[in-house]
Amino acid sequence: MPRKIRSNYMEKFKFLYNGRTFESKHKCCNFYGICYRSVMAYQNQYKCRTEEAITHFIELKKSKEIIFRNRKWASIKTCCEFYDINEASVKTDMWNRKCTPQEAIERAIEWKKAHEITYHGVKYPSLPQCCEELGINPISVRLYMEKNGVSSTRAITHYIKSKKQRIFAFRGKEYNSFTECCLAYGLNPKIVRSAAYRTKSSLPETLEKNVSHMEGCVPQESTENDENSGNKVISKKRHRAKEPFFYEGEKYVSLGQCCEIYGINETSVRARAWRIHCTWEEAAKHFIEKSNADELKKIFVYKGKEYQSVAECCRKYDVRAASVRNRASSTGCSIEEALDHFIKKKIVTKKEEFVFRNKIYETLEECCEVYGVNANSVSSRKYRLGCSTDESLEHFIANKEIIEERIRKFTFKGTEYPSLRACCKKYGIEDACVRQRARDKNCSIEESFEHFMTRKRKKMLDNPEFDYHGTLYPSLKECCEKLKISKNSVVSKSRRSGCSLQEAVEYYVKKQHNK
């Protein structure tokens, strides 16, 4: 459905918060970086308005901010990700030592630097990771270090050289070790070593005798039967995943290659063959035919032309596929009839014009711009009071001077502010909540603001006014930022030592000067 048809429908989802209009509550939450589901759950649990729930999570998000190394971080997690350290370890250290996040992060960074290892110019986070990438055993490296009293670099070099010496060549192919070679031929390496020791011969000679003996013991008839058996299901002890596979006279490297070409699942083919006791070819044929039938069902024909899906056809005609399907299911008509309906509706629909005071405007926004009125405020009042657009617009034009005066000046405790928003910003209150309460309780803006400054001060204000050495700061946070110290460290020091916040600030200021 075109946007201009749905405009009136979408108007009721618009959400006004902090003087800004959003298309929905969800987009408002995304703008402030908070979770929409958490906001709705909080609103349902505490039976409050959406504005209060959003304000709560915005303040909660701000309370998680930390300052580390003269830089502000959104949370401990963000800081830990930047320095590549474990967030859980930092929080555990904070809990065990009762220390600040800054101290725990600093300790984690020092621990990380102490355990880093550099080998041949490449830096690794730890010795086990270095050994893992080089393909050697970290436990053996540590034992060699303790036994011989050497550095990690020397121990790693020793095991890399010994690993190269263990390379075993047999029948023109190299293996990482003798054990790996024996396992490749299905032999027990211990038995082969014992036979080599008894006969006093080399390992390659003994291995050649055992492999030749095994190959000579397989009857020729059984080998031919295996080749003729084709694609019959075999037991798991004889894995033939890489044997040639034939389907409709064509040869494939394996069953997996055939399944990949036809776009079917190899595991499903093997499972069906095992379940109903058929050949792999029959199982593969079943899934290939099923896949072709599903593709034919997806093809959509409209006006003699084929489309891969209904959505592709709707994209061509600029129609929403969801609207077409909804109309088809609600009215019981076919997809083609529903698509015809929306295409005709789109053609008939013309651009709406807005008429006000016998003058034609292209849109409401253009008219509001001429009269110097906020279009969002006009729409909001229209849907809130259920009046017409003209009545709402006339109201704002008639009260334009009063509204501008109210927006322009706000006085609190003898101090005049440019606007209510400027005053609310200073005291950490959301001006949208103040205006909303004034409308709900039918009181003045000043009374509503006084309410948030008194009864709800603990909830609405994260940082009350803070007095330090005769200077009044709007909040402890601003005081700490001006003095270039961490607010979290101050609060933590006050709780640990049982001193006042002023004494804690004094302690960190002296500590900073001593540095």
Query: Are residues 449 and 424 in contact, defined by beta-carbon separation less than 8 angstroms?
Result: yes
The alpha carbon dihedral of 37, 41, 42, 43 has a sign of: positive
DSSP 8-state secondary structure symbol assigned to residue 416: E
Type of residue numbered 164: K
Helix (H) or strand (E) run with residue 450 in it: helix 445-454
pLDDT given at position 229: 46
The alpha carbon dihedral of 95, 101, 106, 112 has a sign of: positive
pLDDT given at position 408: 64
Type of residue numbered 384: R
DSSP 8-state secondary structure symbol assigned to residue 376: H
Helix (H) or strand (E) run with residue 467 in it: strand 466-468
pLDDT given at position 9: 72
∠472-474-480 over CA atoms, to 5°?
85
CB within 8 Å of 208: residues ≥ 6 apart: 170
DSSP 8-state secondary structure symbol assigned to residue 24: S
To which residue do tokens 């005081």 refer?
479
Q: Which of these, 142, 160, 162, 138, lies nearest to 150 by C-alpha position?
A: 142
Tokens of 390: 């003209």
Provide the Cα torsion 153, 155, 156, 159; round to 10°.
160
To which residue do tokens 């909804």 refer?
326
pLDDT given at position 348: 54
Q: Residue 84 in 3-state DSSP?
A: coil
Q: How far apart are CA 207 and CA 205, in angstroms?
A: 5
Type of residue numbered 206: T
C-alpha distance across the termini of the chain, in Å: 66
pLDDT given at position 265: 87
CA 109 to chain centroid = 25
Q: How far apart are CA 432 and CA 141, in angstroms?
A: 64
Query: 443 pairs with which residues across the strands?
Result: none
Furthest-apart CA atoms within the chain: distance in Å: 115
Q: Residue 464 in 3-state DSSP?
A: coil
Give DSSP secondary structure letters for 262-324: HT--HHHHHHHHHHHT--HHHHHHHHHHHHHHHHHHH-EEETTEEESSHHHHHHHTT--HHHH
pLDDT given at position 462: 47
Q: How far apart are CA 431 and CA 421, in angstroms?
A: 5
Q: How far apart are CA 479 and CA 477, in angstroms?
A: 5
pLDDT given at position 1: 43
CB within 8 Å of 288: residues ≥ 6 apart: 262, 264
3-state secondary structure 395-407: HHHHCHHHHHHHH
Tokens of 31: 């703008």
Which phi and psi angles does 427 have, rounded to 5°?
-95, 5
pLDDT given at position 3: 52
pLDDT given at position 216: 56
Which pTM does this prediction carry?
Answer: 0.29
Q: How many residues appear in the chain?
A: 515
**Residue ranges in the chain modelled with pLDDT below 70:** 1-8, 164-165, 214-243, 293-298, 347-352, 405-408, 455-464, 498, 515
pLDDT given at position 464: 61
